[in-house]
Amino acid sequence: MGASIRWTARMRAVLRRWQSAPLIWLIVGGFVLMAATAIGTALTVDRFRQNAIESGRDSLESAVRLLARHFDREFADFAVLQKSIIAELESHGIESADVFRSEMGTLAVHEVLRAKASGWSDVAGANLFDSSGVLINSSRRWPVADISVADRGYFNRLKNDPASQEEIEVVPGRFGDGQAIVFARRVSGPHGEFLGIVTRAIAPEQLESFFASSGLGEDSSIAMHHQNGQLLGRIPQVDGMIGKNYRTGSPEQMAVFERTFVTTELASPIDGKQRIVAARLLTVVPLVIVATKSLDATLATWRTQTKFFVTVAVLSIGLLVLTLVLIFRQMTRRLSVEKQRLDTALNTMTQGLLMFDQDQRLIVCNRRYTDMYRLSTTVVKPGVHFRDVIQHRHDTGSFEGDVDAYCDAVLDGVGRIQSNIVETADGRLIEIKNQPGAGGGWLATHDDVTERIRSDERIAHMAHYDALTDLPNRVLMRGHLERRVAELAQGKPFAILYIDVDEFKGVNDSLGHEVGDELLRQVANRLRACVSGNDLVARLGGDEFAIVKAGTCDQAELTALAEQILTMLRRPVDCKGQEIATDASIGIAIAPDHGDNLDDLLKRADLAMYAAKSEGRGTFRIFVPEYDAKARLRRQLEIDLRLALGRGEFEVHYQPLVDLAANVVTGCEALLRWRHPARGMVSPVDFIPVAEDTGLISEIGEWVLRQACTEAASWPGDIHIAVNVSPVQFRSRTLALKVAAALAESGLAPGRLELEITETVLIRDDEEALTVLQQLRELGVRIALDDFGTGYSSLSYLHRFPFDKIKIDRSFISDIGEPEDSSPIVQAVVHMAAARHMATTAEGVETEAQREVLRKLGCSQMQGWLFSPAVPAAKLKQLLSNQAAAA
Ligand code: C2E
Ligand code: MG
Ligand code: MG
């Protein structure tokens, strides 16, 4: 039962799958063909059966027709002879039985009888019996035997029934062996008196031998019956049959005995077999010729044919069934392979997939779907209603909404593509897409997009937030500012504060990036703490931050904010175990006072910040229009600077370096001077940074180097020349080459050239700078560390590179002689330098007192206005020749 349901289901599935395909037609066609073969075979077989029976009947009928004609003729002749004997006997006019007996029982009559019956083939010839049944004469023998037929039925019937003229009966013969068919006729007197009978007889064998000649074939019979049913003769013979009355009384048999001509089918009373029977009543005697053939024999050929036909039909149907089964199996196998592939594809999908039919019943569901919501596969399986799936989700906790409302909404939308993202109870984001399927159903995919959306959000966050401090970045700040600028029309002012952490680079380089990063995080936190809800703190990159302060244009308020920020930042902070106090330069631009255009406002905040930086750092500046003028001036300076070299506006002045012990000039520092056609002398303090920013310093620096070397080459051989080298020049790998070229060009001994570099050189591109320094050292050039003490952690550089000289910055010298002066620092530097065999030069020595102190401190050299400012080359030459003359 179960198997048949499964098979039916499988069959239905196959048919459904191939509904539009030829398989269904193939199967229907196959069945039709099988039915046609079966029906055709059955009809043919039936037709053949009828034909066989009809042909059997035909041959029986023609047999009985022939036999009847034969026996009719025979018995007619028979009757004529018998009648002629009777006519002879009756012609005597005898009325009395006794007379008849006496007169007829004579030899003469015997002779008459013998003559009449001479051609007869009877069993016993013609015999004459008297009215008492005693044989009185015979054609065969004289004198006659003592035989009586008084007990015979035919005698008594003829004797007692005047209407009965002739009787035919089979009796046990009294003239010989076997049975005899007796034909008895009445002999009557002139008035109908019964005088006796004349009999003649034939043996049943005689009939039977004739029957045998008709040859009706196997299992057939030919018989002669008396109309009363008595059997007279039959082939094949059956013991004891002759003389027996086989009349059964059945209507079919009655028809056989009573109708002139009949063909029927009945069970034989002799052997019980079903037989086809053809019978014919003889016209001259009440005898019936019956020919039969058993149905089995009649249908024997038909059976053989039927077997053949049925075999062919069965084989054809079998072949057809086999073909169909093979096709079906092939199809199901293909289907199962396809299904397997589909299952594999469905179950390896990263999305949950469901397919519903037009009745909202589930057709397909993959494992991912049930796994995704931890659903039971005994509930969510093909055939389940959509509403039940959602109800199950609701029951198991993966769906929290109203089941009916949700189902109605989905079903409303069937027929068009729907897509939405829902959040599950456990916080996952699932994108559900419904799209119309074939025949009114729909296909739903459930995609867990949590990761994708979260990562999109992360990327979006990264695009707008700084990874280190998690502050909004420049892009986000710009967007924010654009909105603020748009709101200016509504009378909502705001301010931009640019905050640049002072000396951050030094922290980063000297204490490491980790400490630097931590410092930036702490700065960010402190800045956050300084603002309120509507304000925005952003990191613009590196050590630059910005605050957009909303709703104010009050300078006092902004000043307070800037001071608060500076106070906060100056508080030492613990960064990875390092106590760091930092500071910042802040530039403030106020909208709309300083502009209602975003770019202008940003530029002005920047200018204000640079102003704060250039005015000593650790302070803030609110934009003032003159910053714009300064910026313009600087731009002009840039333009002029580009032209200055070509126009020959530069000069190199030389400032003597004096040995403190011997009080003699041992060297000079080359200091660049710009004789601007309109502005007059421009200080290198003003234009060197501009030349550095624009990159012009490389060209200018090279020019100074060549100029100074050439000049120095003309000085006495013991006088050194010191040339300042900008950190920007260090970035060019060709610096050593250029120095070598200048030396070669001028013919100056490398040992007389001293290059002054600042710590900044080492702060940037540490390794690279050390390589260049090493190359210079290999040239034989001396290296001096300029402006020592203004940098960050000067001492560490001394470990890394063995300078020839340290130039102590002017700021340590200028206060010498004042209370709490810097002399202990100078002392320390001198000691340290001496320990490393480095010379020391004190810069900016302006007073005799300073010189005295420095000499006592053990400083090797001094440079300053006390002795001489930087002077043109000619003047220096004069000075040197004076010194030489004095010596
Ligand atoms: P620096 O190398 O430290 O040069 C010494 C500066 O101190 C010079 O300023 C000099 O005129 C000044 N000075 C010397 N004695 C005294 C004194 O007793 N009192 C005071 N107040 N100042 C004194 P200057 O010439 O204005 O140069 C400033 C800076 O410009 C230099 O500082 C140097 O860093 C840079 N510089 C000058 N020429 C060149 C150059 O050819 N190439 C490069 N790269 N930088 C140069
Ligand atoms: Mg210098
Ligand atoms: Mg200096």
CATH of the domain at 474: 3.30.70.270
Ligand nearest to the CA of 670: 1
Q: Is the pLDDT of residue 17 over 60?
A: no
What atom in ligand 1 is closest to the CA of residue 672?
A: 38
- In this predicted structure, the answer to whether residue 796 has a pLDDT above a threshold of 80 is no
Question: On the CB side of 454, how many CA atoms lie within 13 Å of its CA?
Answer: 9
Is 60 exceeded by the pLDDT of residue 3?
A: no
Q: Report pLDDT digits (tens) over 137-151.
A: 998 888 888 889 999
Based on the domain organization, do 703 and 843 belong to the same domain? Answer: yes
How far is ligand 3, taken at its centre, from the CA of residue 140, in Å?
190
Closest CA to 469 of 508, 534, 526, 549: 526
Nearest to 523 by CA among 506, 505, 500: 500
Same domain, 565 and 478: yes
Q: Which ligand places an atom closest to the C-alpha of 722?
A: 2
The domain that holds 81 is classified in CATH as 3.30.450.20
Mean pLDDT, residues 469-498 taken together: 94
Instruction: Give me the pLDDT at residue 328, please.
Output: 81
Lowest mean pLDDT among 75-79, 162-166, 592-596, 648-652: 75-79
Residues 119 and 240 in one domain: yes
Percent of the chain predicted with pLDDT > 70: 96
- Rounded CA gap, 771 and 776, in Å? 9
CA atoms within 13 A on the CB side of 185: 19
* Mean pLDDT (whole number) for 636-660: 95
* Ligand closest to CA 863: 1
The 10s digit of each residue's pLDDT in 823-834 is: 999 999 999 999
Exposed / middle / buried, residue 443 (Cβ in 10 Å: 0-12, 13-18, 19+): middle
What would the pLDDT profile of 861-878 be if each residue is shown by its tens digit?
Answer: 999 999 999 999 999 999
Asked whether the predicted pLDDT for residue 765 surpasses 70, the reply is no
Q: What angle do CA 798, 514, 464 make, to 5 degrees?
A: 130
CA–centroid distance, 710 to ligand 3, in Å, is: 22
Looking at the fold, whether 481 and 412 belong to one and the same domain comes out as no
Q: Are residues 542 and 430 in the same domain?
A: no
* 267 contact partners, CB below 8 Å, separation of at least 6: 273, 274, 275
Atom of ligand 1 nearest to the CA of 697: 44
Distance 786 CA to ligand 2 centre (A): 6
Instruction: Give residue 626 CA to ligand 1 midpoint distance, Å.
Output: 27
| pLDDT one-digit tens code per residue, 239-293 | 888 888 888 888 888 888 888 999 999 888 888 889 999 999 999 889 999 999 9
Indicate the number of domains in the chain: 4
Q: What angle, 0 to 180 degrees and rounded to 10, lies between the N-to-C axes of helices 848-857 and 823-835?
A: 40
Kindly give the number of the ligand 1 atom that is closest to the alpha carbon of 704: 41
- In this predicted structure, what is the pLDDT of residue 15? 52
> Within this chain, do residues 753 and 819 fall inside the same structural domain, yes or no?
yes
In this prediction, residues 9-22 reach a mean pLDDT of: 53
Instruction: Out of 671, 846, 865, give the residue to mutate to test ligand 1, the one with the largest number of ligand atoms within 8 Å of its CB.
Output: 671
Closest ligand 1 atom to 684 CA: 30
Q: How far is the CA of 747 from the centre of ligand 2 (A)?
A: 23
Q: How far is the CA of 642 from the centre of ligand 1 (A)?
A: 21
Contact 502, 569 (CB under 8 A): no
Q: Which residues make Cβ contacts (< 8 Å) with residue 231, sequence separation at least 6?
A: 170, 223, 224, 225, 241, 242, 243, 244, 245, 246, 270
Indicate if the pLDDT at residue 55 is higher than 50.
yes
Report which protein residue has its CA nearest ligand 1's atom 13.
844
Least confident segment among 26-30, 108-112, 163-167, 316-320: 26-30
- Window from 211-215, 223-227, 731-735 with minimum mean pLDDT: 211-215
Domain membership flag for residue 489: yes
Q: What is the reported pLDDT for 1?
A: 42
CA of 819 to the centre of ligand 2 (A): 28
Confidence class for position 442, pLDDT limits 50, 70, 90: very high
Whole-structure pTM value: 0.52
Atom of ligand 1 nearest to the CA of 807: 3
Please state the atom number of ligand 1 nearest to the C-alpha of residue 866.
18
C-alpha 586 to ligand 2 mean position (Å): 30
> Domain residues for 744?
643-886
Report yes or no on 29 lying in a domain. Answer: no
Query: What is the CA(659)–ligand 1 centre distance, in A?
Result: 19
**Residue having the nearest C-alpha atom to atom 17 of ligand 1:** 844
What residue owns the CA closest to ligand 1's atom 3? 787
Q: What are the structure tokens assigned to 674, written together? A: 């710009």
Position 141 scores a pLDDT of 85
Ligand 1, pocket-test mutation among 653, 724, 757, most atoms within 8 A of CB: 724
- Protein residue whose Cα sits closest to atom 43 of ligand 1: 724
Q: Are residues 273 and 365 in the same domain?
A: no
Tell me if 669 sits within 8 A of 863, measured CB to CB.
Answer: yes
Helix (H) or strand (E) holding 117: none
The ligand 1 atom nearest the CA atom of 653: 25
Burial code (b: 16+ CB inside 10 Å, e: under 16) for 114-140 equals: bebbeebebbbbbbbbbbebbbbbbbb
d(CA 753, CA 461): 55
Domain end marker among 571, 588, 623: 623
Judgement on whether residues 170 and 104 belong to the same structural domain of the protein: yes
**Alpha carbon nearest to ligand 1 atom 45, residue:** 724
The CATH number for 824's domain is 3.20.20.450
Identify whether 378 is part of a domain.
yes
User: Counting atoms of ligand 1 from 1, which one is nearest the CA of 708?
Assistant: 41
Distance 870 CA to ligand 3 centre (A): 13
CA 748 to ligand 3 center in whole angstroms:
23
Distance CA 459, CA 453 (A): 10
Is residue 825 situated within a structural domain? Answer: yes
Q: Which atom of ligand 1 is nearest to the CA of 758?
A: 34
pLDDT at 472: 95
Q: Which of 843, 861, 867, 876 to mutate to test the pocket of ligand 1 (most atoms within 8 A of CB)?
A: 843
Distance in Å, CA 472 to ligand 3 centroid: 41
Residues 847 and 701 both lie in one domain = yes
Q: Whose alpha carbon is nearest atom 24 of ligand 1?
A: 684
- Which numbered ligand comes closest to the C-alpha of 761? 1
Overall average pLDDT of the 701-708 stretch: 97
What tokens appear for 603 in the block?
Answer: 């530029």
Least distant ligand from the CA of 671: 1
Give distance in angstroms: CA of 724 to centre of ligand 2: 5
Residue 706 sits in the same domain as residue 747: yes
Both structure tokens of 694: 């624009």
Token pair in block for residue 878: 């004069």
Q: How far is the CA of 641 from the centre of ligand 1 (A)?
A: 18
In a domain, 650, yes or no: yes
**What residues sit around ligand 3, an ion, with C-beta below 5 angstroms?**
786-787, 843
Q: Are residues 602 and 735 in the same domain?
A: no
Task: Pick the range with the lowest mean pLDDT from 172-181, 397-406, 435-444, 749-758.
Answer: 172-181
Q: What is the mean pLDDT of the chain?
A: 89
DSSP characters over 587-651: EEEEETTT-SSHHHHHHHHHHHHHHHHHTTSS-EEE--HHHHHHHHHHHHHHHHHHHHHHHT-EE
Q: Which of 118-127, 182-191, 397-406, 687-696 has the lowest mean pLDDT?
A: 118-127
**Which of 244, 268, 298 lies at the terminal end of a domain, its last residue?**
298
Among the bound ligands, name the one nearest to the CA of residue 788.
3
User: Cα torsion for 871, 874, 876, 879, to the nearest 10°?
Assistant: -130
Of all ligands present, the nearest one to the C-alpha of 808 is 3
Residue 801 confidence class, pLDDT cut points 50, 70, 90: confident
pLDDT of residue 12 exceeding 60: no
Q: Is the pLDDT of residue 653 over 90?
A: yes
From the CA of 701, give the closest atom in ligand 1. 42
Ligand 1 centroid to residue 671 C-alpha, Å: 6
- Tell me, yes or no, whether 315 lies in a domain: no
Report yes or no on 585 lying in a domain: yes
Query: pLDDT at position 93, please?
Result: 83
pLDDT at 239: 83
What's the 677 CA to ligand 3 centre distance in angstroms? 27
**Mean pLDDT of the region 690-708:** 95
Per-residue pLDDT at 21 exceeds 60: no
For range 496-509, the mean pLDDT:
88
Q: Ligand 1 center to residue 670 CA distance, Å?
A: 9
Confidence of residue 5 (pLDDT cuts 50, 70, 90): very low
Q: Is 166's pLDDT higher than 70?
A: yes
Q: Which pLDDT value is given to residue 4?
A: 46
- Strands 839-842 and 805-808, by their bridges, are parallel
> Counting beta carbons within 10 angstroms of the beta carbon of residue 731, is it exposed (0 to 12), middle (13 to 18) or buried (19 or more)?
middle
Which atom of ligand 1 is least distant from the CA of 726?
44
* pLDDT confidence band for 79 (50 / 70 / 90): confident
391 domain-assigned:
yes
Residue 120: pLDDT band by 50, 70, 90 thresholds?
low
Q: Which ligand is nearest to the CA of 844?
A: 1
Q: Which ligand is nearest to the CA of 684?
A: 1
8, pLDDT greater than 70: no
In this structure, the answer to whether residues 592 and 648 fall within a common structural domain is no
Q: Which atom of ligand 1 is nearest to the CA of 725?
A: 44
Which residues surround ligand 1 with Cβ inside 6 Å?
655, 670-672, 683-685, 688, 701, 704, 724-726, 756, 786-787, 810, 843-846, 863-865, 870
Residue nearest to atom 41 of ligand 1 (CA): 672
